[in-house]
Structure 1
Amino acid sequence: MFISVVIPTYNRLPILRQCLQALERQETGGPLQAYEVVLVDDGSTDDTVRWLDAHATAFPHLRLILQDHGGPAEGRNRGVEEARGDVIVFIDSDLVVTERFLLHHATALARAWDESGDRLCFTYGAVINTHNFEAPTAEPHKLRDLSWAYFATGNVAIDRRVLEQSGLFDTGFRLYGWEDLELGERLRRMGVRLVRCPEAAGYHWHPPLSLEQIPDLVRVERERARMGLVFYRKHPTWRVRFIIQYTWLHLALWELLTLGGLINERSLRPLLRWLIRRGQAGLAMELLRLPLNRFGVRALHAEARQQGHLVG
């Protein structure tokens, strides 16, 4: 098995360094004969390309592909087109993995192929969220790290031919969100099975919450709402409605949990500031999710009304 790790990146140089260094330390053997890392720079405006050019000898497995800024869907498609492997692993550029990460994916895939007699499956590794920049892989597994998504590109491995038969990612998803789950819906309809592989763990680093991040987090929710409707137009099912929270039930839920909007990003600021100062940025983020979810669901319904959609 020859694995191509496909990674789109945009202005993530500090954590990208750790991501690439970890991928250079991968063990091979058993079903994993060789691997490469296909990094697609999506028009970064920081020092990503300059730094990679200066340190090229430190990354013998790396192939750097450059494109104008077009979003992660376009970047992943470009990476698959350039890849030489028969298996594609998707991770994000802020994910740091352990030394047997690829070997665990390869072993689980090979076992699943043998058991089923076909390659209609993909492996889904664990993603552990962490704020620990110096040692991200030291983060313990937490209950809130569990994901019920069917297909998410933070940590998956799939046969290249199966992936290509699905049609790859829809580049209509140019803003934040849903392009991987939309591809997952097409894979599901093809009968592609999910094989969980928690041993293939990736540590997803993101900076601890600061109050300065709030406007950007609100912007992301607005983009998710717009892309959520793109998802729903392609797959107008109740399953997708629940995935993107496009129901009156979700609207009522977040109105209730935020007391009709009394609990919002402004009213929470003093409490968030207090928690952050006491090293509880994770708890602060969980509290902030309440008004963010309300904002996102309301933005989704407002966008739907503007586009002439009705929801039951």
Structure 2
Amino acid sequence: MFFSVVIPTYNRLPILQKCLKALAQQDLAPEHSYEVVVVDDGSTDDTVVWLRQEMPDIQLYEQAHKGPAAARNLGVQKADGDTIIFIDSDLVVTEAFLSAHALALTTAQARLRHERIFTYGRVINTCNFDEPTTEPYTLTDFSAAYFATGNVAIARHWLEKAGLFDEQFQQYGWEDLELGVRLKKLDLKLIKVPEAVGYHWHPPFSLQEIPKLIDREMQSGRMGLLFYQKHPTLNVRMMIQMTWIHQLLWGSLTLGGRLNEKTLGPLLQWLIDRGKSQMALEVARIFLNWYNLKGLYAAKAKLE
């Protein structure tokens, strides 16, 4: 099995360095091999310079800033492997990462007697930059997604048969789940591999992060509508929260938007000052979800 680890990146050099150094330490059986394909999505930091100077064995490709869907497509098209592993550039993996995916794929194929499968590893969120792999798994790390590109391995021919990622998804969110809908129609079975662990690093939550998080939620709302336009089903409506139930829920929890970054700011800062930044983020998710709905319905109104 020849793995191509495809990594899109955009202005994430410090954590990308940790990501790539971890991938260089893989404990992989000799019957398997791998390459690392990095697609720089128009970074304005020193990502490309550093990669050329310090990581000459990496397969590096560049594109103008088009978003992760286009970057992953370019990576797949340039990759030499028969099996593609997608991870994000802020993911730090363990030494057993690739071997765990390889074992799960071969075991499942032998047990099921077919190859209509893909594997999904465990993603643990952490804000510990110095030692990201020391973070324990918690219930908040659970994901019910069918196909998510944070940590997934799949035969490249299934990606090609499904049609790769839709490059209309140029903003944040949903491009992987949309591809997942098409893969599910091909009757692929998801195999979860908790031993293939990746630690997803993000900076500790602070009030300074809020404008960026709000913008991301607004983008997610707009891309959610695109997702629904391609697959107008009840399941997708529930996924993107385009129902009266979600409007009522988040409208009630935010008192119609009155509980927001301004009114909750003092509480959030109080929690952060006491070392409870994760709890502060969970509180902030209340109004962040409200912004997601605002982005969704604003995009929908433009079409009506």
Is 1:18 aligned to residue 18 of structure 2? yes
Corresponding residue for 1:120? 116
Once residues 174 and 151 of structure 2 are traced to their aligned partners in structure 1, the CA distance between those partners, rounded to angstroms, is 15
Partner of 1:247: 243
Deviation (angstroms), 1:261 = 2.1
> How many angstroms apart in 2 are the aligned matches of 1:116 and 1:162?
17
Matches within 5 A, 1:80-95: 80-95=76-91
Contact persistence 1:96–1:204 (CA under 8 A): yes
- Residues 8 and 71, structure 2, Cα contact 8 Å, conserved in 1: yes
The answer to whether the 8 Å contact 1:251/1:298 transfers is: no
Cα distance in structure 2, aligned partners of 1:221 and 1:280? 22
Deviation track 1:192-211 (CA, whole Å, cap 9, x = no partner) reads: 11111111010000001111
Tell me how far apart the structure 2 counterparts of residues 213 and 29 of structure 1 sit (CA, whole Å).
Answer: 42
Work out the CA distance in 2 between the residues paired with 1:268 and 1:127.
29
**Alpha-carbon distance between aligned partners in 1 of 2:122 and 2:140, rounded to the nearest angstrom:** 12
- CA–CA distance in 2 between the matches of 1:224 and 1:120? 30
Kindly, what percent of the aligned residue pairs are identical?
A: 57
Whether contact under 8 Å (2:6, 2:85) holds in the other structure is yes
The CA deviation at 1:300 is 1.1
1:150 alignment partner, SS class = coil
1:152-172 per-position Cα deviation (integer Å, ceiling 9, x unaligned): 000000011111111000000
Instruction: Give the conservation status (yes or no) of the 8 Å contact 2:4–2:85.
Output: yes
1:212 corresponds to which of 193, 208, 213: 208
Q: Is the 8 A contact 2:148 2:176 kept in 1?
A: yes
Q: Is the 8 A contact 1:272 1:284 kept in 2?
A: yes
Is the CA contact (8 Å cut-off) linking 1:123 and 1:158 kept in structure 2? Answer: yes
Q: How much does 1:306 deviate?
A: 2.1
* Counterpart code for 1:198: P
Contact 2:218 2:294 (8 Å CA) reproduced: no
Aligned counterparts of 2:130 and 2:217: Cα–Cα separation in 1? 29
SS, match of residue 291 in structure 1: helix
Point out where structure 2 has 5 or more consecutive residues left out of the alignment: none
2:185 is aligned with 1:189: yes
Checking the alignment, whether the CA contact within 8 Å between 2:94 and 2:133 is kept in structure 1 is yes
Provide the rounded CA distance (Å) in 1 between the counterparts of 2:120 and 2:161. Answer: 19
Partner SS for 2:95: coil
Aligned with 1:297: secondary structure? helix
Q: Which residue of 2 aligns with 1:177?
A: 173
8 Å Cα contact 2:87/2:151 also seen in 1: yes
Is the CA contact (8 Å cut-off) linking 2:7 and 2:37 kept in structure 1?
yes
Q: Distance in 2 between matches of 1:107 and 1:196?
A: 12
Q: Which moved more, 1:107-116 or 1:228-237?
A: 107-116
Q: How far apart in 2 are the matches of 1:248 and 1:81?
A: 41
Preserved contact between residue 122 and residue 159 of structure 1 (Cα < 8 Å)? yes
User: Following TM superposition, by how much is the alpha carbon of 1:185 offset from its aligned partner in structure 2, in angstroms?
Assistant: 0.3
For residue 55 of structure 1, what is the aligned residue in structure 2? 54
User: What secondary structure, in the 3-state scheme, does the structure 2 residue paired with 1:290 have?
Assistant: helix
Residue 306 of structure 1: aligned partner: 302
State the alpha-carbon separation in 2 of the partners of residues 305 and 231 from structure 1: 16
What is the rounded CA distance, in whole Å, between the counterparts of 1:110 and 1:293 in structure 2? 40
Cα offsets for 1:135-154 (capped at 9, x unmatched):
00000001100001110000
Look up the match of 1:37: 36
Task: Tell me the CA shift for residue 111 of structure 1.
Answer: 1.0
- Conserved in 1, the CA contact under 8 Å of 2:204 and 2:277? yes
Q: TM-score, normalised by structure 1?
A: 0.95
| Equivalent AA in structure 2 for residue 19 of structure 1 | C
Distance (whole Å) between structure 2 residues aligned to residue 300 and residue 194 of structure 1: 29
User: Does 2:145 match 1:145?
Assistant: no
Preserved contact between residue 119 and residue 162 of structure 1 (Cα < 8 Å)? no
Give the 3-state SS of the residue equivalent to 1:27 in structure 2.
coil
Deviation at 1:56, TM superposition (A): 2.7
3-state DSSP class of the match of 1:198?
strand
Q: Number of aligned pairs?
A: 304
Q: What secondary structure, in the 3-state scheme, does the structure 1 residue paired with 2:60 have? A: strand
Q: CA deviation at 1:221?
A: 1.1
